[in-house]
Amino acid sequence: MTNEESRIILCTGGARSGKSEFAERLVLSLPGRKGYVATGQIFDDEMENRVAKHKARRGNLWHNFEIPYDITASWSKILDACDVILVDCLTMYATNAMLKKEPQNQAECNALADALVAELKEVIEATHAADKTVVFVTNELGLGIVPNNRMARFFRDIAGLINQTVAQAADEVYFTISGITTELKAKEVHI
């Protein structure tokens, strides 16, 4: 079973807001074979616990892919195996890229942001061409104070650019806060 049309969906919110659970329920409500792209890496016991909870919640309903880097290298294989794909999450994907590249100045930060944005645009284009649906999960980081160190500001800026890129391409954008989700794209203001 395949989708009737290609869709790009973004689910955003704060940490522990319920956005991943919402995104999983959304994907399960759509027709077709389900794919789960996990971008997290286990570096400590907290992350190990988080990953275990996500895996237990998903069960055996999904084709699972663990992709911390270079999502474009695996995307055609994922599109062949799945009709509806959940990517959880873009923020962790950006974290992995930053830990791997460790930008030391604004030019390197800009280059990394450009590379990640280009990857996501390629994923979105391939998804449309294959007539599939992808649901991206991300954290909304821009609502707090400006971090006092350069690397944290680089991260916030890169995550913001990634989120904007996907939101602009998205057919639907959902925002979850305290377990309550609302759709934002339909209420978008254009000036």
Say whether 7 counts as a known binding-site residue: no
User: Which of the residues 54, 63, 128, 190 is marked catalytic?
Assistant: 54
Say whether 15 counts as a known binding-site residue: yes
Strand partners, 27: none
Say whether 150 counts as a known binding-site residue: no
Say whether 88 counts as a known binding-site residue: yes
Say whether 56 counts as a known binding-site residue: yes
For residue 54, indicate whether it is catalytic: yes
Q: Are 93 and 143 in contact (CB under 8 A)?
A: no
Say whether 160 counts as a known binding-site residue: no
Say whether 19 counts as a known binding-site residue: yes
> Cβ contacts of residue 94 below 8 Å, gap of 6+?
116, 155, 158, 159, 162
Say whether 187 counts as a known binding-site residue: no
CA gap 35, 88 in Å, rounded: 11
Say whether 129 counts as a known binding-site residue: no
Q: Are 37 and 71 in contact (CB under 8 A)?
A: yes
Strand partners, 63: 35
Say whether 13 counts as a known binding-site residue: yes
Tallying the residues shown for the chain, one arrives at 191
The burial class, CB within 10 Å (0-12 / 13-18 / 19+), for 24 is buried
Strand partners, 13: 139, 176
Catalytic residues: 54
Binding residues: 13-20, 38-40, 55-58, 66, 88
Binding residues for GTP: 13-20, 38-40, 55-58, 66, 88
